[in-house]
Amino acid sequence: MSDDIISLYRARLAREKGAVKKEWGGRLSIALIYPNHYRIGMSNLGFQIVYHLFNNRSKIVAERVFLPEGREMSHYIQSGKQLLSLETQTPVQNFDLVAFSLSFENDYLNILKILELAKIPLLAAERSDHCPLVMAGGITAFLNPEPLADFIDFFLLGEAEANLNKFIDVFLEFRGQCATRAEALRALAGYVPSLYVPSLYQLEYYSDGTLKSFSPTEDRIPEKVQVARYIPEADMDMQVPFSVVTTPDTEFGNKVLIELARGCGRSCRFCAAGYVYRPPRVHPAKDIRKSVLGGIEKCGEVGLVAAAVSDIPGIEELTSVIIKNGGLFSVSSLRADSITRGLLDNLKQVGQRTVSIAPEAGSERLRRVINKHLTREQIIEAVRLISGVDDFAVRLYFLVGLPTETSNDIAELIDLVKIIKHHMVKEAAPRGKMGQIRLSVNCFVPKASTPFQWAPLENMSSLREKQKRIKKVLVRQGGVKVNFDVPKWAYVQTLLSMGNRRVGSILLMAHKLDGNWTKALRFSDVNPDFFVYRPKGLDEVLPWDFIDNGISKEHLIGEYKLALKEEESAVCHVGECNRCGVCGHLEKSE
């Protein structure tokens, strides 16, 4: 059976370009794990960036590990063999470090499955000194790591470009000096400002279940853990991030993903990435161009990645350069008020068939609540422009269950989609063919470090009713395809987004029940509704308050109050203000 797994992995490697395979002798070995299947993990640019940064160090050997699936999983279960790395098919348990890259809370259950397959004790407290240290990083780690606190030895908070090298330097220095894992964890926490060791902090609770205090157990351990930020101007040797490994076995095929910008200055109040990746940064045009041309030379096609690609200065010129050099490109979501005819013409020329925009809410009122800075007229004009160029399918992203949402807001969402269809038909009339409307309607999930971190999830029955109402009307509209997420998974995601350490027991129970969240939630000693449906007090100690990401809590409270008053606030003006606190925080840290 183990031979079948090795053959499968070697065949997978043979289809890749750019994988790194090093000799182990004298190097620190790291099992870099994406807690989902290979196809999904290799489509994640952040995971690829970390893989590159680790292996860029001569004293490090980093190999990838993914959640097995299908025939691969069957081999592991039937053989009882330990989970292996991809590059050299080495048992995960043999590595010095096991490093999880976390992007989505709904992958947390996979972490426990992977540890189990690797024969590593699930609970950090039960691991011996012979076990590899288990670490985690990624955006959900520096939003709220607490639901995973019992399972992860330490978290590295912040952007990898800003903290991985510092962490590696300290780890290599203390590697041979610490006799136990406890000593190693104390040393790391004392010397790496962005490193968080849950076992070195003590929690107290009030009788109602809210947090009373969160404090370090030792004097040399910081009360606040700093989120590391990568600022290109301060790190001139850093290049534009891109996917270093290409393979046909991903969501994007043999395509080099290239990051044009990080963060977003539009200040939408529900968006975690728009807050924790502040200040928003656009990579220098000359560096983007260099990476794009390199990507075209490597495989002929690039994927341009940013919160809103149409917001990038010079995007028309960049896409024209790609075409002129014989390359192809695709883009992620566009911003309705920054789409241009030139960009759409270039998208048509390279054969992209779908254009995505995100109105998020159907009514002007609710878009003011979420600070979207997008009017009905701008949305309609964008759709008219898109349909006037070609019969693109238009994907529209909406959220339901947003704070203050009413029945009228849902009615206006439905009405907006009807109006969009009307204008698409009108613009497409000369061609005789209209592109399809693909509606993606997701449930709002509150996120830490945003103005909506105090808001609850809307009741699942109410979310289902809203979905039914939208579907009932819009499925009768020809050319409109509607997709919804499942309110149950929004509930689980909220639990893992908003929970404290006590949520870890529910996660462990769900794992023991083979992923049956319904039973785990029903029979848990911890009440999950406490974290999901309860509005939080503005003066409450939140589970993630120990994380210092530079954004002041007062600013978030102010934004939340503006939302409740249905008022917008200004977009982010980097370096020109210090409303949220991040720019001033960066000046102090320099």
User: For the chain, what is the mean pLDDT?
Assistant: 94
Same domain as 293, residue 220: no
* The domain boundary residue, chosen from 209, 226, 243: 226
Q: Which residues have a Cβ under 8 Å from the Cβ of 428 and sit 6 or more positions away? A: 387, 391, 434, 435
pLDDT average, residue stretch 131-142: 97
In-domain check, residue 250? no
**Percent of the chain residues past pLDDT 70, beyond the cut:** 97
Same domain as 165, residue 272: no
Q: How far is CA 238 from CA 52, 260, 577, 589, in A?
A: 12, 14, 27, 19
pLDDT at 19 over 90: yes
Residue 433's pLDDT band (boundaries 50, 70, 90)? confident
Residue 178's pLDDT band (boundaries 50, 70, 90)? confident
**One-letter identity of residue 538:** L
Phi and psi at 109, nearest 5°, equal -60, -35
pLDDT average, residue stretch 579-586: 82
Residue corresponding to tokens 């008053």: 565
CB 510 within 8 A of CB 109: yes
Residue 588's pLDDT band (boundaries 50, 70, 90)? low
Same domain as 176, residue 72: yes
Residue 476's pLDDT band (boundaries 50, 70, 90)? confident
In-domain check, residue 125? yes
pLDDT average, residue stretch 194-207: 97
Same domain as 462, residue 395: yes
Sheet of strand 301-305, all strands in order from the earlier edge strand to the far edge: 256-259, 301-305, 328-331
Residue 259 in 3-state DSSP?
A: strand
Same domain as 283, residue 222: no
Per the DSSP assignment, residues forming a β-bridge with 354 are: 393
pLDDT average, residue stretch 309-322: 97
Which tokens go with 432?
A: 């005789």
In-domain check, residue 443? yes
In-domain check, residue 467? yes
pLDDT at 233 over 80: no
Residue 1's pLDDT band (boundaries 50, 70, 90)? very low
pLDDT at 234 over 60: no
Same domain as 184, residue 265: no
CB 383 within 8 A of CB 390: no
Same domain as 271, residue 156: no
Whose CA is closest to 386, among 433, 339, 422? 339
In-domain check, residue 507? no
Q: What is the pLDDT of residues 435-464, one digit of tens each?
A: 899 999 999 999 999 999 999 999 999 999
Helix (H) or strand (E) holding 364, with range, is: helix 364-369
Tell me the H-state helices in 83-149.
Answer: 108-117, 139-143
Q: What is the CA radius of gyration of the chain?
A: 24
Phi and psi at 156, nearest 5°, equal -110, 110
Q: What is the pLDDT of residues 249-269, one digit of tens each?
A: 998 888 999 999 999 999 999
Whose CA is closest to 540, among 453, 457, 450? 453
Total-model pTM: 0.95
- Residue with more model confidence, 175 or 76: 76
Tell me the H-state helices in 228-353.
Answer: 272-276, 285-299, 315-324, 341-349
Q: What is the pLDDT of residues 86-130, one digit of tens each?
A: 999 999 999 999 999 999 999 999 999 999 999 999 999 999 999
Same domain as 344, residue 288: yes
Residue 215's pLDDT band (boundaries 50, 70, 90)? very high
Name the domain count of the chain: 2
Residue 472 sits in a domain whose CATH number is: 3.80.30.20
> Looking at residue 570, what is its pLDDT?
93
User: From its phi and psi, is residue 369 left (phi > 0), alpha (psi between -120 and 50) or beta?
Assistant: alpha
* The domain boundary residue, chosen from 182, 211, 226: 226
Same domain as 8, residue 119: yes
CB 139 within 8 A of CB 272: yes
* The domain boundary residue, chosen from 226, 247, 268: 226
Which residues constitute the domain of residue 460?
A: 255-498+550-589
> Looking at residue 478, what is its pLDDT?
87
**One-letter identity of residue 289:** R
Same domain as 315, residue 219: no
DSSP annotation of 209 reads S
Q: What is the pLDDT of residues 76-93, one digit of tens each?
A: 999 899 999 999 999 999
Same domain as 489, residue 381: yes
In-domain check, residue 241? no
Whose CA is closest to 274, among 262, 282, 283? 262
Helix (H) or strand (E) holding 89, with range, is: none
Residue 125 in 3-state DSSP?
A: helix
Residue 12 sits in a domain whose CATH number is: 3.40.50.280
Per the DSSP assignment, residues forming a β-bridge with 133 are: 97
Phi and psi at 127, nearest 5°, equal -85, 135
In-domain check, residue 249? no
Same domain as 406, residue 311: yes
In-domain check, residue 514? no
Q: What is the pLDDT of residues 378-419, one digit of tens each?
A: 999 999 999 999 999 999 999 999 999 999 999 999 999 999
**Percent of the chain residues past pLDDT 90, beyond the cut:** 89
> Looking at residue 475, what is its pLDDT?
87
